[in-house]
Structure 1
Amino acid sequence: MENYVENALKATIHSTPGQTEFYQAVKEVLTSLKPLLDADPKYAHYNIVERILIPDRQIIFRVPWIDDAGKIRSNIGYRVQFSNAIGPYKGGLRFHPSVNLSIIKFLGFEQIFKNSLTGLAIGGGKGGSDFDPKGKSEGEIMRFCQSFMIELSKYIGETIDVPAGDIGVGGREIGFMYGTYKRLTNRYEGILTGKGLNWGGSLARTEATGFGSVYFAENILNNIGDSIKGKTCTISGSGNVAIYTIQKLYELEAKPVTCSDSHGMIYDKNGIDLTLLKTIKEVHRQSLSEYAKAKPDAQYIPIEAYPKGMNAVWSIPCFAAFPSATQNELNLEDIKTLHKNGCRLVNEGANMPSTLDAIAYMQENKILFGPAKAANAGGVATSQLEMSQNASMQKWHFAKVDTKLRDIMKHIFDLSYATSQEFNDEGNLLLGANIAGFRKVADSMIDQGVV
């Protein structure tokens, strides 16, 4: 199947020029699938790989809005509906100036297999815009979200496509979009997740990706007779994923010592002050430089002081690293530094945060690795739990949602580990997660005929 996989990758590059992030995601998955494709020729017979690399549809639209000065602005909106073989499209909306079609497609492609691993009935999709909420007034953000939803509303529905939040899209943005959808359609339904708790949101949704990431890491360590308790951990990012990774690490008696944002990083050798971090990021939406002003013992390193081509977060000695910010934030030099400083586990809280050569180095050097599509699936899993609550008109207690989340993350680990054993590569969770996620979707596609 070597030529089959290589030809599929070449055809994708030829038909979608310039989409480097998408190619990276495709290459990672296809490389892992070779043992499955060798073992079972039906996937080649039904042309599954070529079919799954092409989204069901790609929607690109203009988003006009008016700023506070009365000037008309425009941004590009995207929704890529990749696969609904096992359920309605599900995946977040990202508002960030880096957003382009390549990034949306890589995220949507990853989402197919991540959602499959949860065991829940959700397909894969992703969307967003190159709009930057930073520096915008609340009125400007509201007007943008309203314009974005006017167009997006034509393509979504509670059994069609259920978006959620992502970078730049939190409860405020979800609220503005939900209100617009309700006004346009006169329907009160669960077409977005991450909603406010007063109007259909789920307890534990904000915490879910970070909590789930730590649960997955704990499963990895428990499997070798260890635990996260007492371990020093480094975390990148300071959004929901990072903040609630830090919180759960404290609850499991670990010691998180770093966090970061687009301006720089904090190293607090005594452990990150979670209350202060939440105040800075969730209440005041300020730079992490404010953390060092409040805690002079903490070290703040601005991004311009980072070594060229490296992320300063990964220069701090640790037992476990949790990249929880954005794609390709941990490269080959970073992982070499982490390894030299004693790091034994890398657990991905963000989407595709490690480069392909960094992953190869981890595998060659037996560094424990929690791949993103498994380790950060807690957010989308809890989104589906929100959908379930909406459908049944119920609201579950925090403890019930958290227990279900913990069980889902254990299921994902067990499935990924068992699949790695099945293909004689025990403990290779990247291979196990990719094959397990792909196989469920591919078998469903075969069952449903030529669609």
Structure 2
Amino acid sequence: MVHLDEKLQPILTEVLRRNAGEPEFHQAVHEVLESLGRVIAKRPEYAEQALIERICEPERQIIFRVPWADDKGRAHINRGFRVQFNSALGPYKGGIRFHPSVNVGIIKFLGFEQTFKNALTGMPIGGAKGGSDFDPKGRSDAEIMRFCQSFITELYRHLGEYTDVPAGDIGVGGREIGYMFGQYKRLTNRYEAGVLTGKGLSYGGSRARKEATGYGNTYFVQSMLATRGLTFEGRKVVVSGSGNVAIYTMEKVQSFGGKVMACSDSNGYVVDENGIDLDLVKEIKEVRRERISEYARLKGTGAHYIAGGSIWDVSCDVAMPSATQNELTGKDARTLVKNGVIAVGEGANMPTTPDAVKIFQEAGVLFAPGKAANAGGVATSALEMQQNASRDSWTFDQTEARLAVIMRGIHDACYETAEEYGAPGDYVLGANIAGFVRVAEAMRALGLI
């Protein structure tokens, strides 16, 4: 691990002791603390009143049992989580993830990252994350509905438009949000549209929400490329994943003139020398809900599927990891650098391992950390909350225009903060410090709570 400022080392030691067996959370905290030595040197008041220690400790952690019955009447038990990390800037805000890998350490890492990501948007929202180790794959709509209803039957008492506003994440899309919102409405006897975001357009959702994370990541990378006089035009791009974030990253990259060469799912990846046919990916993933291997079978000429392996073996100018945490390793980074990558934009949360980030930075590759680059989703969720509060509904173009302004603002804040603290071009440091300072200022103003 990189050497920390001596004032911060005891904080990290205590985090490791108090949160044993949570490596993703340890990694996320260490990465932020690495950036804060420069802040403490310049602003010593941030080392007072256990401010950093408080930022590293969630305000509330909720763990609960989720019982549900499958279509054959068999009972199942899953575990539900909600970590309400920090509310200094506004109500807790962050997604819900349904995936077998979910545990309290994963949720804490995501909630910690979300706190700084939300601060970077400039919107009045705090940080949280939630989920369950439930696996939605292969489950019927009726089973999904029963699980969502059981999940929210416990969680609803901790939610509210002024308290905590969840959204979707891996395994939780519009269908799941609808079932959870319906059960929340049933339990509370209130039509509180602002309590969940990522809703359908027919009941209070925002246009461009589905596209927002992928679009936002692409806007951020576009701004980053522009600092070197570059654009997406004619660039070869590889996007990992084939879920919501990946699909709309590919869509916006193509609109900017980039050529997407490959995408993936958890089984393997597909390469199309003619450029990925996005309509076919949408058909396979959003309509048929099938594996990406179907792409090569249906497309035929120019497309081939590789089971397993690493999508980062595919040569590209821009890499956009958009699947899950720690998917891009040091070995992958060395391959990408060797093949001439010029920029990396994180669409997923912490998809690049620390050694890979270091390799990119040492090679002079533009690197956009997820807490900044993928903030478009939560920014548009905040815009959905704004529309719900005013009983209004904006057009797609209005919403996307706001998203573009927010993402360029995040880019500029990261870029300028990195310069201010003596690390020009270091977007990781810029994002960490810019997010931290905004949260820290609010916490200092609110007192020791």
Which residue of 52, 55, 67 maps to 2:55? 52
Q: Could you say which residue in structure 1 is the equivalent of 2:170?
A: 167
Which residue of 372, 375, 379 maps to 2:373? 375
Please give the alpha-carbon distance, in whole angstroms, between the structure 2 residues aligned to 1:263 and 1:366.
32
Q: Read off the aligned partner of 1:195 and give its amino acid letter.
A: K
Please give the alpha-carbon distance, in whole angstroms, between the structure 2 residues aligned to 1:450 and 1:408.
31
Q: Deviations over 1:209-258 (max 9, x none)?
A: 00000000000011111111110000000001000000001111110111
Q: Could you say which residue in structure 2 is the equivalent of 1:196?
A: 200
Which residue of 436, 442, 446 maps to 1:444? 442
Contact 2:243 2:285 in 1 (8 A): yes
Please give the alpha-carbon distance, in whole angstroms, between the structure 2 residues aligned to 1:274 and 1:169.
22
Q: Does residue 1:87 correspond to 2:84, yes or no?
A: no
Q: Could you say which residue in structure 1 is the equivalent of 2:21?
A: 18
SS in 2 for 1:154: helix
Q: Could you say which residue in structure 2 is the equivalent of 1:301?
A: 306
Q: Does residue 1:231 correspond to 2:229, yes or no?
A: no
SS in 1 for 2:65: strand
Residue 90 of structure 1 and its aligned partner are, at CA, apart by: 0.2
Please give the alpha-carbon distance, in whole angstroms, between the structure 2 residues aligned to 1:70 and 1:226.
58
Structure 1's consecutive aligned runs of 4 or more residues displaced over 3 angstroms after TM superposition are: none
Please give the alpha-carbon distance, in whole angstroms, between the structure 2 residues aligned to 1:299 and 1:342.
22
Which residue of 125, 130, 135 maps to 2:133? 130
Q: Could you say which residue in structure 1 is the equivalent of 2:346?
A: 348
Q: Read off the aligned partner of 2:393 and give its amino acid letter.
A: K
Which residue of 142, 148, 151 maps to 2:145? 142
- Count of aligned residue pairs for this structure pair: 444
Q: Does residue 1:187 correspond to 2:185, yes or no?
A: no
SS in 1 for 2:67: strand
Residue 37 of structure 1 and its aligned partner are, at CA, apart by: 1.1
Q: Read off the aligned partner of 2:111 and give its amino acid letter.
A: G
Question: What are structure 1's unaligned runs of at least 5 residues?
Answer: 307-311
Q: Deviations over 1:26-81 (max 9, x none)?
A: 01111011100111111112211111111000000000001111111100000000
Q: Could you say which residue in structure 1 is the equivalent of 2:362?
A: 364
Q: Does residue 1:220 correspond to 2:224, yes or no?
A: yes
Q: Read off the aligned partner of 1:372 and give its amino acid letter.
A: G
Q: Does residue 1:97 correspond to 2:83, yes or no?
A: no
Please give the alpha-carbon distance, in whole angstroms, between the structure 2 residues aligned to 1:283 and 1:194.
18
Please give the alpha-carbon distance, in whole angstroms, between the structure 1 residues aligned to 2:201 and 2:416.
37
SS in 2 for 1:257: strand
Q: Does residue 1:210 correspond to 2:210, yes or no?
A: no
SS in 1 for 2:8: helix
Q: Read off the aligned partner of 1:206 and give its amino acid letter.
A: K
Q: Does residue 1:255 correspond to 2:253, yes or no?
A: no
Which residue of 321, 327, 333 maps to 2:319? 321
Please give the alpha-carbon distance, in whole angstroms, between the structure 2 residues aligned to 1:220 and 1:2.
29
Q: Read off the aligned partner of 2:144 and give its amino acid letter.
A: I
Q: Could you say which residue in structure 2 is the equivalent of 1:424?
A: 422
Residue 364 of structure 1 and its aligned partner are, at CA, apart by: 1.3
Q: Give the TM-score of the pair, scaled to structure 1.
A: 0.98
Q: Give the TM-score of the pair, scaled to structure 2.
A: 0.98
Q: Does residue 1:243 correspond to 2:241, yes or no?
A: no
Contact 2:66 2:77 in 1 (8 A): yes
Please give the alpha-carbon distance, in whole angstroms, between the structure 1 residues aligned to 2:421 and 2:407.
21
Q: Read off the aligned partner of 1:123 and give its amino acid letter.
A: G
Q: Does residue 1:108 correspond to 2:140, yes or no?
A: no
SS in 1 for 2:344: strand
Contact 2:85 2:111 in 1 (8 A): yes
Q: Could you say which residue in structure 1 is the equivalent of 2:335?
A: 337
Please give the alpha-carbon distance, in whole angstroms, between the structure 1 residues aligned to 2:326 and 2:428.
16
Identity between Structure 1 and Structure 2 (%): 57
Q: Read off the aligned partner of 1:358 and give its amino acid letter.
A: A
